Structure 1
Amino acid sequence: MHRWKLALLTAGLLATTATGCAGGTSAPDPAARAGGAAHRAAGDPQRTLHLAEQLLVRTCMTKRGHEYWVEPPPPKDLAARFPLVVDDPAWARAHGYGTDLRRRREAEVRADPNQKYFRSASAANRSDLVRDLNGPEPRGLSARLPNGMRVTHSDRGCQAAAQRELYGDLKAWFRATRVTGALDGMRLGLVTADKRYRTALAPWARCMRGKGHPYADPAASRAAATRADRPWPHAKEVRLASAEAACAASSGLADVARALNTEYRVELGRRHPRETADLARLRREALPRARAIVAREG
């Protein structure tokens, strides 16, 4: 989620926002920040695509009279890193369920110059930022998700303009990203409902009980340790996550989860071949343009 989107949701607005430095605060130089990001993006296609899009957004917003700081791609959260079960003992020993990383991320968001600029802007200027970044209304782009829900977005504004320049076919890009994103949630539902996964949970749960953690599945242990209204001490969180990882390996749950995750990813890709193929094609075709944009503007 874009950091301005977080700010806007907090402010009770409906779309994402934009930019700059707050009065009375100092912010990193945009060119220096982009240059550092360009160095980090070298050789990483996904980071290169992200950086190129951000640079295009910055150029567009500058033309509309706003400040804009290029934002790095968000780090993977726990759900993205371990969607089914924590299975990396070293990571668990360091981070538990990642609440330390989440708090660090939240602090970074609060300190972000784009956030500061948004918070310091008047109500009228905030509306301008929303409109110029996201377009005046959610029309022009549409996608029907696998569950039947239709999602829409503006085909105007700097975000859309940047994606159009980078990916060419904006409508295909919007549809492909929204549909494949929805498939991630579907895949996890299919895995956790699969008899093979449910069977593998039994020895995992026995292992966890033997370590003093009576949880029926990884979702329950994760939920217990990560409640925002009842934060656990880091050491306690680490002990539980480490037990989960150890039991995932010894019970075989980790292997079953990985195999089923791959199996259903392939299956869902076959069910939705158009969007899956479009996403891969659009990214592949955009990469040379992204590299040229980074070289030119980064």
Structure 2
Amino acid sequence: MHRWTLALLTAGLLATAATGCAGTTTAPGATGSGTPQAAGGPAETLRLAEQLLIKECMEKEGHKYWVEPPSPDDVSARFPYVVDDPAWARAHGYGTDLRREREAEVRRNANQRYFRSMPATTRAVLVSDLNGARPQGLSARLPNGMRVSHSDEGCQATAERQLYGDLQAWFRATRVTDSLAGMRVDLVTNDKRYKAAVEPWARCMRERTYNYPDPARARAAATLPETPWPHAEEVRLASAEAACALSSGLSSVAKSLDSEYRDRLGRGHPRETADLARLKREALPRARAIVARGD
């Protein structure tokens, strides 16, 4: 389940769906013609089944809807600590080329075009029918104490209820475990063992003429300015980062700490972790049947 804000409209019909300071909304997209096929294992089967159920629901409400393809990982999701894949770095640098491709795909997105073609009053109906009229009915308290909520109505909720059965348990499990992922990155990067491993990485980078104290600031240098670096320069920096991540041992330390904190956080929230695994496991046969049925 994607998290967006209404103003972005990055992939179609969007709506704010949380109270307080947090937001959770659904962002549909589009594929080509024909029946979608699941080719990425259980996770992709579940994702595709949910999209097909949303499509069925939205069409019953009188709307058009195109199944959204899977979104490629952002560089921060693929490499949360340090770029450590030299081949990927040589091809993509820090992934700004992939980000531009995604932005172009959004502009071409069939749901996006459909949404933009509608008058304002119809847009509001589309958003309500997808995400529910009010962010009420589902609630979860995150590990940081923040409470988030979402409508238990609308086609998104209907699809998840059909697929996972216990909608409240699914909402709580996904929101809590998503929150744990962000906490894990903070714990790793603030761990003294990670900070110690960054020092030889920084020395390696200096030997390659790049004076950055940690990978986060190297990435920011190439990707945050108003005038982005030329792609070739971005690739050189990312390639140096990847080479130093491997030769200095930072990559191994980061992966080890990530696994350690993943296990620790999971043990600290056993209910949500177990519920997420159980609900996915129980939903998979239903998802396979839905995908086999297709449109």
Greater than 2 Å deviation, 4+ residue runs: 1-6, 8-21
Q: How does 1:201-280 map to 2 (within 5 A)?
A: 201-227=198-224, 229-280=226-277
Q: Find the counterpart in structure 1 of residue 146 from structure 2.
A: 149
Question: Are 1:124 and 2:124 an aligned pair?
Answer: no
CA distance in 2, matches of 1:2, 1:201: 31
Contact 2:13–2:112, Cα closer than 8 Å, also in 1: no
Contact 2:50–2:160, Cα closer than 8 Å, also in 1: yes
Superposition deviation, residue 297 in structure 1? 2.5
Question: Are 1:48 and 2:45 an aligned pair?
Answer: yes
Aligned length: 286
2:16 pairs with one of 9, 14, 17: 14
Question: More helix per residue: 1 or 2?
Answer: 1
Q: Find the counterpart in structure 1 of residue 69 from structure 2.
A: 72
Letter in 1 for 2:9: A
Cα RMSD for the two superposed structures: 2.3
In structure 1, runs of 5+ residues without a counterpart are 22-26
In structure 2, runs of 5+ residues without a counterpart are 18-24
Q: Find the counterpart in structure 2 of residue 281 from structure 1.
A: 278
CA distance in 2, matches of 1:17, 1:274: 25
Superposition deviation, residue 42 in structure 1? 3.8
Contact 2:39–2:45, Cα closer than 8 Å, also in 1: yes
Q: Find the counterpart in structure 2 of residue 181 from structure 1.
A: 178
Q: Find the counterpart in structure 1 of residue 102 from structure 2.
A: 105
- Partner secondary structure for residue 7 of structure 1: coil
CA distance in 2, matches of 1:198, 1:19: 39
CA distance in 2, matches of 1:180, 1:85: 22
Q: How does 1:154-165 map to 2 (within 5 A)?
A: 154-165=151-162
Superposition deviation, residue 12 in structure 1? 10
What TM-score, normalized to structure 1? 0.91
Letter in 2 for 1:78: V
Percent pairwise identity: 67
Letter in 2 for 1:106: E
What TM-score, normalized to structure 2? 0.92
Contact 1:3–1:115, Cα closer than 8 Å, also in 2: no
CA distance in 1, matches of 2:276, 2:178: 11
